[in-house]
Amino acid sequence: MPLLSGIPGWIKHSKTLYLVVTNTKGDILFCNDHYAQTFLFPGDSISGVNFSTFISSGEVEEYKELLTECVQDYSSGPLQIINKIKIRDTDRFNSVKWECSLYSDGSDEELIVIHIGHNVVAVEKESISEEHFDKSLNFLFDDLQIGVVVQDEKSAILLSNNKAEELLGLTKDQLYGRTVHDDGWKIIKSDESAFPADELPAARAISEKSHIKNVIMGVYNPKIKHYVWLQVDANPLLDKKGRVLRVATTFIDISPRKDQEEVLKDALKEKTTLLAEIHHRVKNNLAIVSGLLELQSMEVDPEHKLPLQRSINRIHSIAMVHELMYETERLSSVNIKHYLDQLIPAIKRTMQSKKQVEINLDLEEHQLNINQAIPLGLLFNELLTNSFKYAFLKTFDGKIDILMEVADKRITFSYKDNGPGFSKEQDFSNTPSLGLSLGLSLIHAQLGQLHAKYEVETNGKFELKFEFDISERGPHSNM
């Protein structure tokens, strides 16, 4: 063939480069000894055999498209493609990178396509191919301390390094050709549910044609007979038409971190259980104390019942906080709206007032730390008790308005009743002037514990406005 005389002899006789010459339909006209010795059986004839016969079935269409493009646009220079070519006497394939060029000497002789190829990173057995690659690259690849597998466009594993074999518990032979759909995999998610094959990083990288990062999975390792937890990335290599050629999947062992997370989860679960039990027992103990006080109140004359009832209400306001915490998952804070929606009607029921008292609540949903919720509950207990005891003596219809607003990590409350306010001799800000008013002394004490700023109007009415910063931790504990 005259045209072959133009091909340099060093390419024809190369021991590292493959040379295949075809017509524009892909029928093989010539191949060099290196190609024949690697892929053909002795005595095989290539006459009339199409080059696509030796290519992996999944890549035939891509090769035909490249051949057509090479013929139609030969002026653009060599076109590149990577194909898997079946090695003789094995079920394995070499991954070969080809440069394809249309060639003509200007005569009327049929045009030919010259394919010059070389192996990419080792895929096949070392006994067949070790002499054909750069050994240092293979050593570097195998010495990586992260697992690496290279997969084709159907997720079949073409290449794996030593760390991948160690983490997966499989040999190169066992890994080779495995896809994400192989029944041999046992893969679970972080919650230990089964990991669907189509959701695995390599499968997603192929379907989405994008880099998939930081996927956590557990892979059963048959050598050590338990799951190894891996953090996996999968990055697809696309051709110029956006088709997936290869997927590089890398993974690191995070089993120690996962084990530590499990220890912390167990410790947190145990702490949560113990804390819930503490809230439950505190609530029960407070219920016993209030029950004893109620029994005591039955033995005293009516004028001494009210002080006992006020003490019982104070205990109830504390117990209710612990009850709400026990009933919810959040064991260090309560929803303040839910708390006051239950506490205030409960206090009203104990007052045994003959007056018609209307209580209007305008509250917002917000979580409040236990060490702010308890003094707030005690504060409202004292305010309501004082209103029922003093504000409605001269009016038949009583009215109490309670307003709450949350803004900029501060809570503002307004408490107002329609009573007559304080007499001229009384001063809200100077509790000693009120004589033996334990209730008002407790109001001041709770405002101080909340570090609240307040304003009070007692002329012809009683209105208390106070605000305090919302604390993630209670003022007197580490909660």
Check whether 272 has a pLDDT greater than 70: no
Of residues 315 and 36, the one with the higher pLDDT is 36
Check whether 186 has a pLDDT greater than 80: yes
CB atoms within 10 A of CB 459: 10
Q: How many angstroms separate the CA atoms of 364 and 366, rounded?
A: 6
Of residues 215 and 42, the one with the higher pLDDT is 215
Q: Chain-wide mean pLDDT for the chain?
A: 81
- Lowest-confidence segment of 207-211, 261-265, 472-476 by average pLDDT: 472-476
Of residues 446 and 43, the one with the higher pLDDT is 446
| pLDDT value for 374 | 84
Of residues 217 and 276, the one with the higher pLDDT is 217
Query: How many Å separate Cα 359 from the centre of its chain?
Result: 45
Per-residue pLDDT reduced to its tens digit, 328-379: 666 668 888 988 898 888 888 877 667 788 999 999 999 888 888 888 988 9
Check whether 149 has a pLDDT greater than 50: yes
Q: Which amino acid is at 158?
A: L
Domains of the chain (ranges plus CATH)?
2-126 (3.30.450.20), 134-253 (3.30.450.20), 260-469 (3.30.565.10)
- Lowest-confidence segment of 82-86, 144-148, 384-388, 393-397 by average pLDDT: 393-397
